[in-house]
Every structure is written in C-alpha cells, then in structure tokens.
Amino acid sequence: MAVYTEVSDEHLEAFLTEYDIGEMLSLKGIAEGVENSNFLLHTTSGSYILTLYEKRVDPRDLPYFIGLMEHLSEQGFDCPLPIHGKDGKSLRQLCGRPAAIISFLEGMSPRRIQPFHCRSLGAALARMHLASGSFDMSRPNTLSISSWRPLFDLSKDRAHEVLPGLAEELDGELTILEARWPENLPTGVIHADLFTDNVFFLGQDLSGVIDFYFACNDAFAYDLAICLNAWCFEPDTSFNITKAQMMLKSYRELRPCTEAEVEALPILARGSAMRFLLTRLYDWLNHPEGAFVKPKDPIEYWKKLQFHQRVNGPSAYGIDL
C-alpha cells in the first residue's frame, strides 16, 4: 500500500469544504502504487481519488500533470479529470503536502496480460501521443539519460546487497548507453510510466489510463520501449514476441514510426530497463520508515535489460522497417 502521509477525518473534512462534492462518507488508503499517497474517497456525490504528492513529484510540475489530464480529457482520451474547488483551483495543500482530487475511473488493471491487452495498449498509446500534440505546456524528462548516472551513484556502493557484481555491470552499461543514446527522434508528450497498473480495462475494452505523474516531453519511441518492458515479458521474464508485435502494430497503424524510431528501439528498450532498474534499486535500498509501500523488484529489470543487450535489431521485437 502506498500511503506515506496519513490524513485525519478533521483535516479531510476541512479540506472538503473547499469543494462542492458533498459530504465525506469514507476514505480508504489504496493498496497499489509506490510514488504518491492515494486514497479512495466516497462522498455523498460519488467516488473520487485523493492524491497527496510525495517524494519524486516536484510541486512546480503539478500544473503540467493536471493540465495534461484536462487536455487529454477534452480531446476525448479516457483519463481522470481533476476536480476544481469552489475557487476554481484543482491543486491545494493537505497535511503539508500538495494534494488534488481527481475523478474515479471505472475498470481494473489486467492481472494476466494477454496479447489483446497489448493490442489495445498500442492503440491507446498512439492516441495519447496524437491527442497531446495540441497541449501547449512542456516539461523535460527529469528521469532521462542524464539523470541515470547521478541516480546510480546514490546506490552503487550498496548495489551488491541486491546482486553481487551489479554495480560493475551497471557502470559498464551506462557507459554504452551514454555513447549510443539516440538524438533527434520525433518528440512530444509521453506518459513515461505506462505500466499494466496504470491502464484500466472493463471486460476486454481498455477503459482509460491513469498516473500521469512522470509525463514529460521526450521521444515517442521511448514510451514504446517502456511499454515493451512493462507489457511484453512473461512473469518468468521470458520475452513474448507476439505481445510486442501486437502492441507495435496497433501503435503504428495510428502513428506510423520513422525508420530511425524503429532502429532505435533496442537501445531505447535497454535505456528504459536501466531507468526503472535504477529507481527500483534506490527505493529497495532506501525504504522510508513507517510508510505503507511494497518496493518493486530491481532484479526483474536487470533480467529485462540483459535480454535487450542480446538482441540484434528491431526484428527481435517482431517488427521491421
């Protein structure tokens, strides 16, 4: 459960007087997520999500995330809508943290990923990339390649506690990524954390996307690489080429990729595996006392990274130019 900050009834009741969403009925901490404190809020007018923004979220970026959700909703893309208070604002403070209430999205994240989930995901990702083309705010990727070595430096002395020799392996891999990282790929707004727990389905239909708190402006193909890692490996970390093929095909039907994007996929997939490995490694080694959170396994991403190190080209993902 990710709850870093507890919210008392008195604080919540005072907070809710700023909104026109009825009286509080219940508030329950949510057992998923690792970044922010999330609560399911029931009021006399319905269900909502209350989020208190924690650790990696810079409060100065919140207008971008909130604005993006509003923009995507306006474009007909299914995602939560921030709720405005009586003063028109959707961001305020609660228990010393920046906080917002967003609409509740119906559906569930899939437990066992099937190829049809990957097909719907590819199409949704392309629609998101296209719909955000008219969004006029911009935010650099604070977890892009330039941040990886400083992040690694915070964990390298203790990386052996997770796996002997890991620090040396990651040092070498970072050197390769820094030398080969592609520049000048088509860019735009990317989700940057489109894992299975951030995509909801109702039956077989994708009902929406949540958690835009890593969204930023970066290469579209990097978002595809993140999804390859998050959706196309089996629980035993074997790669499922059918899932990759379906995701990439449905994406390219709506947003055709350039040759450079297709060719860059293997290195982008290595980089994306490195990015999640490093944040997981840091979180594994630095567990905040008293927080209800289950850290995610860094080794899963080390195995995925090793897969991408071995691939010969984009055909390993079931696609060609």
Ligand X SMILES: Nc1ncnc2c1ncn2[C@@H]1O[C@H](COP(=O)(O)OP(=O)(O)O)[C@@H](O)[C@H]1O
Ligand Y SMILES: N[C@@H](CCOP(=O)(O)O)C(=O)O
Footprint of ligand Y (CB under 6 A): 33-35, 193, 195, 197-198, 211, 276, 279-280, 296
Residue 53 CB, nearest approach to ligand X (Å): 8
- Of residues 53 through 82, those in contact with ligand X by CB under 6 A are 80
The token pair that represents 114 in the structure block = 């099937």
C-alpha 131: how far from chain center: 18
Q: Does 32 bind ligand X (CB under 6 A)?
A: yes
97, 223 Cβ separation under 8 angstroms: no
226, 194 Cβ separation under 8 angstroms: yes
Q: Does 263 bind ligand X (CB under 6 A)?
A: no
Residue 11 CB, nearest approach to ligand Y (Å): 23
Beta bridge partners of 42: 26, 47
Burial state string for 116-131 with b = 16 or more CB within 10 A and e = fewer than 16: ebbbbbbbbbbbbbeb
Binding piece for ligand X, criterion CB under 6 A, among 6-14, 144-152, 207-215, 242-250: 207-215
Pick what 195 binds: ligand X, ligand Y, none; C-beta below 5 to 8 Å, kind-dependent.
ligand Y
Q: Which of 69, 82, 46 is nearest to 137 (CA)?
A: 69
Residue 275 CB, nearest approach to ligand Y (Å): 9
Site track for ligand X across 187-206, x = CB under 6 A: ----------xx--------
Q: Which residue's CB is nearer to ligand X, number 106 or number 178? A: 106
> What are the DSSP E strand ranges found in 67-195?
92-94, 97-103, 187-190
Half-sphere exposure in the Cβ direction for 236 (13 Å, CA) = 2
Residue 193 CB, nearest approach to ligand Y (Å): 5
Q: Which residue's CB is nearer to ligand X, number 70 or number 197? A: 197
Q: Does 226 bind ligand X (CB under 6 A)?
A: no
Beta bridge partners of 202: 205
Q: Could you tell me the CA-to-CA distances from 126 to 134, 176, 242, 251 in Å, in that order?
A: 14, 29, 19, 5
Pick what 159 binds: ligand X, ligand Y, none; C-beta below 5 to 8 Å, kind-dependent.
none
C-beta neighbour count of 31 within 10 angstroms: 12
Positions that interact with ligand X (CB under 6 A)? 2, 30, 32-36, 38, 49, 80, 102, 104-105, 197-198, 210-211, 213
